Homo-oligomer: A and B are copies of this chain.
Amino acid sequence: MRYEFYYWAGIQGRGEFARLALEEAGAEYVDVARQAGGEAALMRLLDGAEAGHLPFAPPFLKAGELIIAQTANILLYLGAHHGLAPTDEADRLWAHQLQLTIADFVDEAHDTHHPIASSLYYEDQRSEARARTADFLKSRAPKYLGYFERVPERNPAGPAHLVGAELTYPDLSLFQMLAGLRYAFPRAMARLEPKHPRVVALHDRVAARPRIAAYLASDRRIPFNEHGIFRHYPELDTAA
């Protein structure tokens, strides 16, 4: 099956977590909004102009007649259909739990630059962004990274992956999380990374996988920029 993937054309954003799974799976897909006329097609589905399950927001994935939205839900589907999730229930739930925790971490990273309203410009909430980011870098990012350092440490199958002995979709998402944090907060991450060697090793292992490496080197990978979730505003990136 050839999937249709829908997400904003100019950013990695939440869509990138699904793109990485599609790429690692070697799935056939069209990144619809990046084609001519694609944004209009995205808007039609979002407006409910077509039949089927209505998404609240991109990303969404069209798999035949099925429209699946919410990043973690797309990964639940792709994981099950492309060998990127455990097959037994306990580990399947565990992988999903980790994904949902990464989703929370992503939300908090987003709100560093938009603590008051997504509808306002960053420039209109700059001082609040400074306060929120200070707390994020001092408390929240270390708490999440410390958690994700312990997960491979406690994995009975060894620290190469988050769940079991094989790659699963939260590994891909943790790679993206670290890549985004490095882009947004290079100074803070230079301080935090040495304390989280297993997270860094996991990131590097994902980056080196042949399909992921090919994807990252291609123009299908949209560069990080100041429109997405992870934005580099030097004034927010304090080392403390």
Chain A residues packing against B (C-beta within 8 Å): 48, 53-56, 66, 68-70, 72-73, 76-77, 90, 93-94, 96-97, 100-101, 104, 107, 111, 115-117, 119-120, 128, 131-132, 135, 139, 144, 147, 150-151, 154
* Given known A147-B56, A154-B54, contact A117–B93 (CB-CB < 8 A): no
Taken together, the copies of this chain in the complex come to 2
Main secondary structure of the interface of A (DSSP, over half): helix
Report yes or no: A76 in contact with B101, Cβ–Cβ below 8 A.
no
* Contact status A70-B54, CB under 8 Å: no
Closest chain-B Cβ to A106's Cβ sits at a distance in Å of: 11
Q: Which listed residue, B55, B101, B128, B154, touches A115 by the CB 8 Å rule?
A: B128
| A102 shortest CB reach to chain B, Å | 10
Given contacts A107-B107, A128-B128, A150-B48, contact A97 B53 (CB under 8 A): yes
Note all chain B residues with C-beta closer than 8 A to A66.
90, 93
Partner of A93, one of B68, B93, B132: B68
The answer to whether B115 and A96 touch across the interface, beta carbons within 8 angstroms, is no
Asked whether, in the complex, the Cβ of B119 is within 8 Å of the Cβ of A131, the reply is: no
